Structure 1
Amino acid sequence: MVNSVERFHIASFLIFVLAQNILEAEGPWFENFLYNALVVYICELMIDIIKHSFIAKFNEIKPVVYSEFLEDLCKQTLNIEAENPKKNLTFVPLAPASVVIRVLSPVYAAHLPSGPALWRLLWILILAVTSFVMLTTLKVMIGMGLRKHATWYIKRCQRRKLHSD
């Protein structure tokens, strides 16, 4: 859970940096941004691998615990009743929504056409609706991908349990 939150925060920060680059860029900046983002993610993955290795070693956690935790997350994704409902993870979207508004506001402000207030208001409305549709589509697509992965993983776990019995 903590790692997924960290990954989300890093992705949010990278989107913020991307928006700032779009506003202030002069010359080729996208390749440099991609390289830096890749370095950040690779370093984060290495840190997580080392961190979990130490945690697992010193707390004598067996690797199967991670598989059981992933199975519980997949059951939550598919709304399958869990053994312990207190373990359910929730996601509060207020902070990401604030980040999205903070990131998109200056980008849109920089690209609004000049002219009458009504014309600018129309463009603000168009950009807001377009952003909403794009974010909703992204949310639905991510949800579909998570459900597909959860279904595959639950079936895999069930096959393993059948073969091990």
Structure 2
Amino acid sequence: LYPDIIERFHITTYVLFVLSQNILEAEGPWFESFAIDVLQVYLCETFIDTIKHSFLAKFNEIKPSAYSEFLEDLCKQTLNEKPNEHRKDLTFIPLAPASVVIRVLTPVYAIVLPYGPLPWRIFWIIFWSSLTYIMLAICKMLVGLSLRRLATWYINQRLESKQHVD
């Protein structure tokens, strides 16, 4: 389950960067075909994961309620609670998305950099790189805050439902 979450995040990251690349380089009407391709990718991923988890659940006799426990465990990891130390933590390795960011932003920087003396160009490279770093850091903080808020909400919902059952 954990690799599927990381894989969906990577796919979303790649789709966003391909979208930005298309905005820069595409000519003519391209958005409709792009949207159809993205929809196909997500539908195929969902279909494949549904079949995979159905077979795994059937042959390993995993009950559907186990997925709620997996989600609760993920929420506790997000909130830095360690209920069971022997379980594997969800980790994100940013090397692949970082290389995509560099690949996509290189032509953008080439377009916006002014022609002139080398020190002036270096100043603008540092400026745009710093601005990009700040924007990505803000996005990372917003995603982290949103995940923490959703995790807190889900944990509270699970606690309320457990109290009503008891």
Query: Do they fold alike, i.e. is TM over 0.5?
Result: yes
8 Å Cα contact 2:6-2:92 kept in structure 1: no
Tell me if structure 2 keeps the 8 A contact 1:23–1:110.
no
* 1:44 partnered with 2:53: no
Q: What is the alpha-carbon distance in structure 2 between the residues aligned to residue 61 and residue 45 of structure 1?
A: 19
Count of paired positions:
165
What is the Cα deviation at residue 98 of structure 1? 2.5
- Corresponding position of 1:115: 116
Question: 1:117 is matched by which residue type in structure 2?
Answer: L
* Structure 2: distance between partners of 1:35 and 1:125: 37
Change beyond 3 A, Cα 1:58–1:86: closer
What is residue 127 of structure 2 aligned with on the other side? 126
Partner AA of 2:98 in structure 1: A
In 2, the alpha carbon distance for the partners of 1:164 and 1:43 equals 37
Report the Cα offset of residue 154 of structure 1.
0.5
Task: Tell me the equivalent position of 2:31.
Answer: 30
Normalising by structure 2, report the TM-score.
0.87
Shift of 1:8: 2.1
Residue 143 of structure 2 corresponds to 142
Distance 1:86 1:8, change over 3 A: same
RMSD: 1.9
Distance 1:27 1:113 in 2: 27
The offset of 1:78, in angstroms, is: 0.7
Give aligned-pair identity as a percent: 59
Q: Secondary structure at the match of 2:115?
A: coil
Q: What is aligned with 2:89?
A: 88
Q: Is 1:55 aligned to residue 66 of structure 2?
A: no
* Equivalent position amino acid for 2:97 in 1: P
Separation of aligned partners in 2, 1:71 and 1:163: 17
CA contact (8 A) 2:14 2:97 kept: no
> For residues 150 and 13 of structure 1, what CA distance do their matches in structure 2 show?
25
Find the counterpart in structure 1 of residue 78 from structure 2: 77
**Consecutive unaligned residues in structure 1, runs of 5 or more:** none
In structure 1, what residue type is equivalent to 2:11? I
Shift in CA distance, 27/119, structure 1 to aligned 2, threshold 3 Å:
farther
Report whether the alignment pairs 1:152 with 2:153. yes
Separation in 2, partners of 1:27, 1:46? 32
Structure 1 range deviating more: 109-118 or 122-131: 109-118
Q: Secondary structure at the match of 2:91?
A: coil
2-structure distance, mates of 1:36, 1:53: 26
- What does residue 17 of structure 1 align with? 18
C-alpha displacement of 1:99:
2.5
Alignment match, 1:66: 67
